[in-house]
Amino acid sequence: MDIIDKALQYLLASKVIVFPTETVYGLGADAENIEAVRKVYSIKGRPLSHPVILHLPKVDDLAYWASDIPDEAYKLADIFWPGPLTLVLKKSSNVPDIVTGGQNTVGIRCPSHPVAQEILIAFAKSKNHKKGALAAPSANMFGKISPTCSSHVYNEFNKEYLKEIFVVDGGVSNIGIESTIIDLSGIREGKKASVLRPGHITEMNIAKIIELESKDLSSNSIVVSGSLKSHYATITPLTVIDDTFFSKNLSVFAQKVDRLAVLYYGDKPINVEENIDLYYMSSDPIIYARHLYAMLRKIDSKKYSRIFVKDLPFLAEWDAIRDRLYKAAAGFN
Protein backbone atom coordinates (compact mmCIF):
# COMPACT_ATOMS: atom_id res chain seq x y z
CA MET A 1 0.00 0.00 0.00
CA ASP A 2 1.48 3.37 -1.00
CA ILE A 3 1.25 6.50 1.16
CA ILE A 4 -1.67 8.00 -0.77
CA ASP A 5 -3.72 4.83 -0.35
CA LYS A 6 -2.88 4.70 3.35
CA ALA A 7 -3.81 8.37 3.81
CA LEU A 8 -7.11 7.68 2.04
CA GLN A 9 -7.72 4.67 4.28
CA TYR A 10 -7.29 6.85 7.38
CA LEU A 11 -9.61 9.55 6.06
CA LEU A 12 -12.35 7.08 5.15
CA ALA A 13 -12.09 5.56 8.63
CA SER A 14 -12.83 8.94 10.29
CA LYS A 15 -9.18 9.35 11.26
CA VAL A 16 -6.77 12.25 10.98
CA ILE A 17 -3.76 12.69 8.69
CA VAL A 18 -0.92 15.18 8.46
CA PHE A 19 -0.19 16.23 4.89
CA PRO A 20 2.28 18.61 3.25
CA THR A 21 1.29 21.81 1.51
CA GLU A 22 3.39 24.53 -0.10
CA THR A 23 2.73 26.80 2.92
CA VAL A 24 2.95 24.59 6.04
CA TYR A 25 1.90 21.04 6.97
CA GLY A 26 -1.80 20.55 7.66
CA LEU A 27 -3.69 18.41 10.19
CA GLY A 28 -6.62 17.18 8.13
CA ALA A 29 -9.83 15.18 8.24
CA ASP A 30 -12.92 14.65 6.09
CA ALA A 31 -14.65 18.05 6.12
CA GLU A 32 -18.14 16.49 6.15
CA ASN A 33 -17.37 14.11 8.99
CA ILE A 34 -18.12 15.95 12.23
CA GLU A 35 -16.55 13.24 14.40
CA ALA A 36 -13.31 13.36 12.40
CA VAL A 37 -13.12 17.17 12.40
CA ARG A 38 -13.70 17.15 16.15
CA LYS A 39 -10.58 14.96 16.47
CA VAL A 40 -8.56 17.61 14.63
CA TYR A 41 -9.66 20.25 17.15
CA SER A 42 -8.91 17.91 20.06
CA ILE A 43 -5.44 16.87 18.88
CA LYS A 44 -4.45 20.47 18.16
CA GLY A 45 -6.03 21.86 21.32
CA ARG A 46 -7.92 24.35 19.16
CA PRO A 47 -11.01 26.18 20.51
CA LEU A 48 -14.16 25.09 18.69
CA SER A 49 -14.92 28.77 18.05
CA HIS A 50 -11.81 29.07 15.86
CA PRO A 51 -12.55 27.93 12.27
CA VAL A 52 -10.40 25.72 10.07
CA ILE A 53 -9.75 26.02 6.35
CA LEU A 54 -11.19 23.69 3.71
CA HIS A 55 -8.71 22.27 1.19
CA LEU A 56 -10.05 21.36 -2.26
CA PRO A 57 -8.39 19.65 -5.23
CA LYS A 58 -9.79 22.08 -7.83
CA VAL A 59 -11.77 25.27 -8.31
CA ASP A 60 -14.63 23.34 -9.95
CA ASP A 61 -15.63 22.09 -6.47
CA LEU A 62 -16.02 25.57 -4.99
CA ALA A 63 -19.79 25.81 -5.50
CA TYR A 64 -20.38 22.67 -3.43
CA TRP A 65 -18.83 24.28 -0.34
CA ALA A 66 -19.71 27.97 -0.78
CA SER A 67 -22.83 29.93 -1.70
CA ASP A 68 -23.42 33.36 -3.25
CA ILE A 69 -19.97 33.16 -4.83
CA PRO A 70 -18.99 36.50 -6.42
CA ASP A 71 -17.15 36.68 -9.74
CA GLU A 72 -14.13 38.02 -7.87
CA ALA A 73 -13.61 34.59 -6.28
CA TYR A 74 -13.24 32.94 -9.66
CA LYS A 75 -10.99 35.73 -10.93
CA LEU A 76 -8.61 35.20 -8.02
CA ALA A 77 -8.80 31.40 -8.20
CA ASP A 78 -8.02 31.54 -11.91
CA ILE A 79 -4.77 33.40 -11.18
CA PHE A 80 -3.65 32.07 -7.78
CA TRP A 81 -5.06 28.51 -7.49
CA PRO A 82 -3.64 26.04 -6.89
CA GLY A 83 -1.62 28.14 -4.46
CA PRO A 84 -1.34 29.92 -1.11
CA LEU A 85 -4.57 31.94 -1.19
CA THR A 86 -7.60 31.27 1.04
CA LEU A 87 -10.95 32.74 -0.01
CA VAL A 88 -13.51 33.51 2.71
CA LEU A 89 -17.02 33.07 1.29
CA LYS A 90 -20.55 32.45 2.52
CA LYS A 91 -20.69 28.77 3.42
CA SER A 92 -23.07 26.32 1.81
CA SER A 93 -25.30 23.90 3.73
CA ASN A 94 -22.72 21.16 3.00
CA VAL A 95 -20.23 22.68 5.43
CA PRO A 96 -20.70 21.56 9.06
CA ASP A 97 -20.74 24.35 11.66
CA ILE A 98 -17.75 22.79 13.43
CA VAL A 99 -15.58 23.69 10.43
CA THR A 100 -16.54 27.38 10.56
CA GLY A 101 -16.61 27.93 14.30
CA GLY A 102 -20.34 28.61 14.01
CA GLN A 103 -19.90 31.45 11.52
CA ASN A 104 -21.80 31.69 8.25
CA THR A 105 -18.55 32.02 6.31
CA VAL A 106 -15.91 29.46 5.36
CA GLY A 107 -12.26 29.73 4.32
CA ILE A 108 -11.39 27.66 1.25
CA ARG A 109 -8.19 27.08 -0.66
CA CYS A 110 -6.68 24.77 -3.26
CA PRO A 111 -3.07 23.86 -2.34
CA SER A 112 -0.43 23.43 -5.02
CA HIS A 113 1.82 20.86 -3.31
CA PRO A 114 1.80 17.73 -5.54
CA VAL A 115 1.35 15.33 -2.60
CA ALA A 116 -1.54 17.37 -1.21
CA GLN A 117 -3.10 17.36 -4.66
CA GLU A 118 -2.76 13.57 -4.95
CA ILE A 119 -4.45 13.06 -1.59
CA LEU A 120 -7.24 15.53 -2.32
CA ILE A 121 -7.95 14.11 -5.77
CA ALA A 122 -8.02 10.54 -4.45
CA PHE A 123 -10.27 11.55 -1.54
CA ALA A 124 -12.71 13.43 -3.79
CA LYS A 125 -12.98 10.40 -6.08
CA SER A 126 -13.88 8.23 -3.08
CA LYS A 127 -16.98 10.35 -2.39
CA ASN A 128 -20.28 9.56 -4.07
CA HIS A 129 -20.67 13.22 -5.03
CA LYS A 130 -16.95 13.46 -5.99
CA LYS A 131 -16.53 16.68 -3.98
CA GLY A 132 -14.37 15.67 -1.02
CA ALA A 133 -12.42 18.26 0.95
CA LEU A 134 -10.16 18.21 3.98
CA ALA A 135 -10.74 20.50 6.94
CA ALA A 136 -7.23 21.33 8.08
CA PRO A 137 -5.45 23.85 10.28
CA SER A 138 -1.66 23.74 10.59
CA ALA A 139 -0.29 20.55 12.17
CA ASN A 140 0.91 21.97 15.49
CA MET A 141 -0.47 22.72 18.92
CA PHE A 142 -2.80 25.72 18.89
CA GLY A 143 -1.01 29.07 18.90
CA LYS A 144 2.45 27.61 18.36
CA ILE A 145 4.87 27.58 15.41
CA SER A 146 3.57 25.88 12.27
CA PRO A 147 5.53 22.88 10.92
CA THR A 148 7.28 23.04 7.56
CA CYS A 149 8.53 19.45 7.44
CA SER A 150 7.43 16.11 8.88
CA SER A 151 10.09 16.06 11.62
CA HIS A 152 8.51 19.19 13.11
CA VAL A 153 5.23 17.26 13.40
CA TYR A 154 6.86 14.31 15.16
CA ASN A 155 8.51 16.71 17.60
CA GLU A 156 5.26 18.61 18.19
CA PHE A 157 2.80 15.93 19.25
CA ASN A 158 3.07 13.37 22.03
CA LYS A 159 3.30 9.66 21.25
CA GLU A 160 -0.35 9.01 22.10
CA TYR A 161 -1.55 11.47 19.48
CA LEU A 162 0.99 10.24 16.94
CA LYS A 163 -0.49 6.75 17.25
CA GLU A 164 -3.80 8.16 15.96
CA ILE A 165 -2.34 10.19 13.07
CA PHE A 166 -0.87 9.15 9.73
CA VAL A 167 1.92 11.57 8.77
CA VAL A 168 2.58 11.96 5.05
CA ASP A 169 6.11 13.23 4.35
CA GLY A 170 6.31 15.63 1.43
CA GLY A 171 9.64 17.30 2.10
CA VAL A 172 10.09 20.91 3.18
CA SER A 173 7.27 23.38 2.50
CA ASN A 174 8.48 25.74 -0.20
CA ILE A 175 6.75 28.92 1.02
CA GLY A 176 7.04 28.32 4.75
CA ILE A 177 4.30 30.59 6.12
CA GLU A 178 0.52 30.27 6.09
CA SER A 179 -1.68 31.32 3.16
CA THR A 180 -3.00 34.79 2.52
CA ILE A 181 -6.66 35.02 3.59
CA ILE A 182 -9.02 37.35 1.75
CA ASP A 183 -12.65 38.05 2.70
CA LEU A 184 -15.02 38.04 -0.28
CA SER A 185 -18.14 37.22 1.74
CA GLY A 186 -19.69 40.70 1.62
CA ILE A 187 -19.16 41.55 -2.03
CA ARG A 188 -22.70 40.59 -3.03
CA GLU A 189 -23.91 43.03 -0.35
CA GLY A 190 -21.87 45.92 -1.71
CA LYS A 191 -18.80 45.54 0.53
CA LYS A 192 -15.28 45.47 -0.84
CA ALA A 193 -12.90 42.53 -0.47
CA SER A 194 -10.28 42.80 2.28
CA VAL A 195 -7.23 40.87 3.38
CA LEU A 196 -7.71 39.19 6.77
CA ARG A 197 -4.26 37.60 6.99
CA PRO A 198 -1.20 38.62 4.94
CA GLY A 199 0.77 35.92 3.18
CA HIS A 200 3.02 35.09 0.25
CA ILE A 201 0.43 36.60 -2.12
CA THR A 202 0.43 40.29 -1.20
CA GLU A 203 -2.32 42.91 -1.16
CA MET A 204 -0.56 44.47 -4.13
CA ASN A 205 -0.80 41.18 -6.07
CA ILE A 206 -4.52 40.91 -5.31
CA ALA A 207 -5.30 44.57 -6.00
CA LYS A 208 -4.14 44.06 -9.59
CA ILE A 209 -7.03 41.61 -10.05
CA ILE A 210 -9.91 42.95 -7.93
CA GLU A 211 -10.81 46.06 -5.95
CA LEU A 212 -9.63 45.90 -2.33
CA GLU A 213 -10.48 47.76 0.84
CA SER A 214 -7.38 48.45 2.92
CA LYS A 215 -8.11 48.28 6.64
CA ASP A 216 -6.59 47.52 10.01
CA LEU A 217 -6.47 43.74 10.44
CA SER A 218 -7.47 44.09 14.11
CA SER A 219 -10.86 45.51 13.05
CA ASN A 220 -12.00 42.30 11.32
CA SER A 221 -15.28 40.86 12.61
CA ILE A 222 -14.70 37.49 10.94
CA VAL A 223 -12.58 35.02 12.90
CA VAL A 224 -10.00 33.23 10.72
CA SER A 225 -6.90 31.13 11.28
CA GLY A 226 -4.09 33.22 12.75
CA SER A 227 -6.35 36.16 13.67
CA LEU A 228 -5.57 36.14 17.40
CA LYS A 229 -3.25 38.87 18.66
CA SER A 230 -0.81 36.28 20.01
CA HIS A 231 -0.03 33.35 17.72
CA TYR A 232 2.84 31.42 16.07
CA ALA A 233 4.52 31.46 19.48
CA THR A 234 7.93 30.12 20.42
CA ILE A 235 8.59 28.53 23.81
CA THR A 236 11.46 30.97 24.41
CA PRO A 237 10.37 34.60 25.00
CA LEU A 238 10.76 36.52 21.74
CA THR A 239 11.20 40.26 21.18
CA VAL A 240 11.30 42.15 17.88
CA ILE A 241 13.84 44.98 18.09
CA ASP A 242 13.72 48.20 16.09
CA ASP A 243 16.53 48.32 13.55
CA THR A 244 17.67 51.76 14.80
CA PHE A 245 18.43 50.50 18.30
CA PHE A 246 19.33 46.94 17.38
CA SER A 247 23.05 46.82 18.25
CA LYS A 248 22.63 49.01 21.35
CA ASN A 249 19.83 46.85 22.75
CA LEU A 250 21.82 43.68 22.18
CA SER A 251 24.52 44.82 24.58
CA VAL A 252 22.02 46.00 27.19
CA PHE A 253 19.96 42.81 27.11
CA ALA A 254 22.99 40.53 27.06
CA GLN A 255 23.82 41.78 30.55
CA LYS A 256 20.37 40.75 31.84
CA VAL A 257 20.13 37.15 30.56
CA ASP A 258 22.24 34.00 30.59
CA ARG A 259 22.03 33.24 26.86
CA LEU A 260 20.58 35.32 24.05
CA ALA A 261 19.76 34.15 20.51
CA VAL A 262 19.71 36.85 17.84
CA LEU A 263 17.97 36.48 14.48
CA TYR A 264 19.23 39.08 12.01
CA TYR A 265 19.58 39.86 8.32
CA GLY A 266 21.89 42.27 6.53
CA ASP A 267 25.05 43.45 8.24
CA LYS A 268 26.35 41.26 11.03
CA PRO A 269 26.20 42.89 14.48
CA ILE A 270 29.67 43.77 15.76
CA ASN A 271 31.23 43.62 19.22
CA VAL A 272 28.61 41.20 20.52
CA GLU A 273 28.84 39.78 24.02
CA GLU A 274 30.04 36.20 24.59
CA ASN A 275 26.59 35.02 25.72
CA ILE A 276 25.00 36.03 22.38
CA ASP A 277 24.59 33.56 19.51
CA LEU A 278 23.87 35.02 16.08
CA TYR A 279 21.59 33.36 13.52
CA TYR A 280 21.71 34.81 10.02
CA MET A 281 18.59 35.10 7.84
CA SER A 282 18.37 36.04 4.18
CA SER A 283 17.60 39.60 3.10
CA ASP A 284 15.28 38.10 0.47
CA PRO A 285 11.76 37.92 2.01
CA ILE A 286 10.85 34.76 0.06
CA ILE A 287 13.88 32.88 1.43
CA TYR A 288 13.47 34.43 4.90
CA ALA A 289 9.86 33.18 5.08
CA ARG A 290 10.80 29.71 3.83
CA HIS A 291 13.29 29.18 6.67
CA LEU A 292 11.72 31.24 9.48
CA TYR A 293 9.74 28.56 11.33
CA ALA A 294 12.49 25.96 11.03
CA MET A 295 14.99 28.46 12.44
CA LEU A 296 12.70 29.41 15.34
CA ARG A 297 12.20 25.74 16.18
CA LYS A 298 15.96 25.17 16.07
CA ILE A 299 16.59 28.11 18.41
CA ASP A 300 13.77 26.99 20.71
CA SER A 301 15.43 23.61 21.15
CA LYS A 302 18.62 25.22 22.50
CA LYS A 303 17.04 26.63 25.68
CA TYR A 304 18.02 30.28 25.35
CA SER A 305 16.84 32.86 27.88
CA ARG A 306 15.42 35.05 25.12
CA ILE A 307 15.25 35.50 21.36
CA PHE A 308 15.88 38.88 19.75
CA VAL A 309 14.71 39.40 16.17
CA LYS A 310 15.83 42.36 14.10
CA ASP A 311 12.75 44.20 12.82
CA LEU A 312 11.96 43.87 9.13
CA PRO A 313 11.73 46.45 6.34
CA PHE A 314 8.32 48.16 6.12
CA LEU A 315 7.70 46.97 2.58
CA ALA A 316 4.73 44.99 1.22
CA GLU A 317 6.77 41.87 0.54
CA TRP A 318 7.73 41.69 4.24
CA ASP A 319 4.21 42.26 5.66
CA ALA A 320 3.34 38.58 6.16
CA ILE A 321 6.61 37.75 7.91
CA ARG A 322 6.29 40.81 10.14
CA ASP A 323 2.74 39.74 11.01
CA ARG A 324 3.99 36.31 12.17
CA LEU A 325 6.89 37.71 14.18
CA TYR A 326 4.83 40.43 15.88
CA LYS A 327 2.22 37.86 16.88
CA ALA A 328 4.91 35.48 18.10
CA ALA A 329 6.25 38.28 20.29
CA ALA A 330 2.83 39.50 21.50
CA GLY A 331 2.45 36.85 24.20
CA PHE A 332 5.74 37.92 25.82
CA ASN A 333 5.29 41.71 25.76
DSSP state at residue 316: G
Give the list of residues 6+ apart from residue 164 with CB closer than 8 angstroms, or none: 15, 16, 39, 43
234 has binding-site annotation: no
Which H/E stretch holds residue 292? helix 285-300
46 has binding-site annotation: yes
197 has binding-site annotation: yes
Helix (H), strand (E), coil (C) string for 265-282: CCCCCCCCCCCEEEEECC
146 has binding-site annotation: yes
Say if residues 231 and 144 touch (Cβ distance below 8 Å). no
55 has binding-site annotation: yes
29 has binding-site annotation: no
**Which has the closest alpha carbon to 320: 208, 231, 197?**
197
179 has binding-site annotation: yes
How many CB atoms are located within 10 Å of the residue 213 CB?
A: 11
Give the list of residues 6+ apart from residue 163 with CB closer than 8 angstroms, or none: none
- CA distances to 13, 42, 64, 278, 283 from 69, rounded to whole Å, are 32, 31, 11, 49, 39
Give the list of residues 6+ apart from residue 207 with CB closer than 8 angstroms, or none: none
Which H/E stretch holds residue 72? helix 71-80
109 has binding-site annotation: yes
Residues making up the annotated binding site for L-threonine are: 23, 55, 109, 136, 179
Residues making up the annotated binding site are: 23, 46, 55, 105, 109, 136, 138, 146, 179, 197, 232
Residues making up the annotated binding site for ATP are: 46, 105, 138, 146, 197, 232
